[in-house]
Structure 1
Amino acid sequence: MHGPWRTALVVGASSGIGAAVARQLAEHGCRVALVARREAELARLAAALGGDGSVRAYAHDVTRAAEVPALFQQICRDLGGLDLLVYAAGVMPQVAGEEYTFAKDREIVEVNLLGAIAWINEAAPRFDRARAGTIVGISSVAGDRGRRGNPAYASSKAGLDAYLEAIRNRIGRHGVAVVTVKPGPVDTPMTEHIDRKPFLISAEEAARQTLAAAARRARIAYVPRKWRPIMLVVRHIPSPLFQRLDL
């Protein structure tokens, strides 16, 4: 990781890709704010990474959007600025093939999409005024098509893709990098219930590729890169044929 960042905020930092991103940033000397709802895990990670106070933990449930503006300002003060925001919070509950449970769907959208909007809406104007900064949103290859397995998850990631593109079009011309990262299956607790996991990679490798994409100011980065041509083909499968496929 060779990014230009001195201060970073990672939302969804207690496990998975978010925790791995936070570790790699801290190892390269960044001052890092860790945000997640699991306070005990956050405290352990902060203690392991930044005994000197360079890594700070903030317990927060991303579905509580009203708390975000004040917490964001506090974090920026505590860090002495902000160069990088990574939104890595996400949920993917197990959904049966014929299940329609609104409570699950609402949680997915609130965490994966609305939480991202709440945090990025704070970072975007700050970076726009500074004419600098990097925003990274962890999306998914699942957002490229509406697969039958988990409609709300695919919708949340497709929505995140569109939101990040719109923010990129709004502030990217002012020197702000907005990076959409689209991983395939990653070996994290969130994917334990999934049977088929092609091209599975570790959270550490996903984090490494995520930060490399952010450092080169990529617009869209598939992780690993082999997913880019695969999803190009998948996106162009005619809908009647796609409906018949076991996807």
Structure 2
Amino acid sequence: MVACLLSGSSAHAARSVDAERRIGRAAAPMCVRSCAAQASASIEGMVIDSGTDVGGVLAGRRALVIGVETVAGSAIARALAAAGVSLGLATMRADEAVMVARRLQREVQAAGGAATVYAFDVMLGQNVKVSTRQVAKELGGLDLLVSAVDRPLDAPLERTTDSELASTFIANCGAHLYAVRAALDEFRRAEGGRALLIVRDAGETGQPGAAAYAAAHGATLALVRSLGEELRGRGVGVDALIVGEHDAPEAIGAAALALLAAPPTAPVGRIVHVNEVQDVTL
């Protein structure tokens, strides 16, 4: 496993879903070991040596992936599992997405990996905090956070209600805030950690007809830039990976691994596109 990255600048705990019975959609299975991607571009900054064994760097670490029902979340979870990371697979809500997470869990376990499914409510900060604490306890600690929350809202602004505006901002930005805030407590216990926030490219380019959705993702980019400075020197990295509609799941997973495997000396607050990760092979 080789990677080279050129980088730029309700108070209820999550229920371990193994104890629940739910009915919902099941995602089509994909082999954890089939992930492979290469992308290239040029960003100024730090380089992960092309001889770096990403699997060796990440093997044995403990990660929480929130939003595993999304394309990006499931792709990154698969890549982390292939790298030997123990996983907490969290859905954004306790709904049919749980079945998607269960399918992914079985896939990871069939390949020899470790994964447990949790149902979060990402709309409630206290739920995220208590649930993250539970995940960390069951994993024996937490080294990595991936927040891949995403809830689209395709509606012209003049036809968007106050309730829709509020829920869109919480689901697409506030949920990231809740996740990072909760993870920081665990990173402090582990004396360091890395968080990766997945942002849709609408947050950078805008999206006519979905202004609220695009604005929420844009706010997440500001969050990452701010945290890059706020957390400097604390052994904690927070980066953003910008994902586009046409980015392949395998490329998303590979790019995420390269960012999460960055050394402690790597810049923080980086905002990177999937195609700005060079020579990543899983």
Is 1:213–2:268 an aligned residue pair? no
Is 1:48–2:107 an aligned residue pair? yes
Secondary structure, in 3 states, of the residue corresponding to 1:224? Answer: helix
Please name the residue that 1:12 is paired with: 67
* Corresponding letter in the other structure for 1:205: A
Deviations 1:77-122 (A, max 9, x none): 1111111000001011332586434443333212111111111101
Residue number among 12, 28, 33 corresponding to 2:83 in the alignment = 28
Cα RMSD after superposing both structures: 2.3
Aligned positions of 1:1-247 closer than 5 A: 2=54, 4-5=57-58, 6-36=61-91, 37=93, 38-50=97-109, 54-96=114-156, 99-128=159-188, 130-185=190-245, 200-216=246-262, 217=266, 219-225=270-276
* Corresponding letter in the other structure for 2:82: E
Number of residue pairs matched? 212
CA distance in 1, matches of 2:176, 2:68: 14
Secondary structure, in 3 states, of the residue corresponding to 1:58? Answer: strand
* Corresponding letter in the other structure for 1:43: R
- 1:164 Cα offset (Å): 1.8
CA distance in 1, matches of 2:205, 2:113: 43
Q: Report the TM-score, using the length of structure 2 for normalisation.
A: 0.68
CA distance in 1, matches of 2:155, 2:105: 33
Identical positions, percent: 29
- 1:151 Cα offset (Å): 1.1
Inter-CA distance 144–71: structure 2 relative to 1 (3 Å threshold): same
Deviations 1:141-162 (A, max 9, x none): 3222544331111211121111
CA distance in 2, matches of 1:53, 1:27: 8
Secondary structure, in 3 states, of the residue corresponding to 2:107? Answer: helix
CA distance in 1, matches of 2:124, 2:234: 30
Deviations 1:55-77 (A, max 9, x none): 00001221133212221111001
Secondary structure, in 3 states, of the residue corresponding to 1:174? Answer: coil
Secondary structure, in 3 states, of the residue corresponding to 1:82? Answer: coil
- 1:225 Cα offset (Å): 2.5
CA distance in 2, matches of 1:44, 1:158: 32
CA distance in 2, matches of 1:97, 1:112: 16
Inter-CA distance 15–100: structure 2 relative to 1 (3 Å threshold): closer
* Corresponding letter in the other structure for 2:219: G
User: Using CA pairs below 8 Å that are at least 6 residues apart, which structure has the higher relative contact order?
Assistant: 2
Please say if residues 90 and 108 of structure 1, whose CA atoms lie closer than 8 Å, have aligned partners that are also in contact.
no
Gaps of 5+ in 1: 186-199, 227-247
Deviates more, 1:125-134 or 1:13-22: 125-134
Which is richer in helix? 1
* Corresponding letter in the other structure for 1:207: G
Q: Report the TM-score, using the length of structure 1 for normalisation.
A: 0.77
Gaps of 5+ in 2: 2-53, 278-282
CA distance in 1, matches of 2:201, 2:192: 28
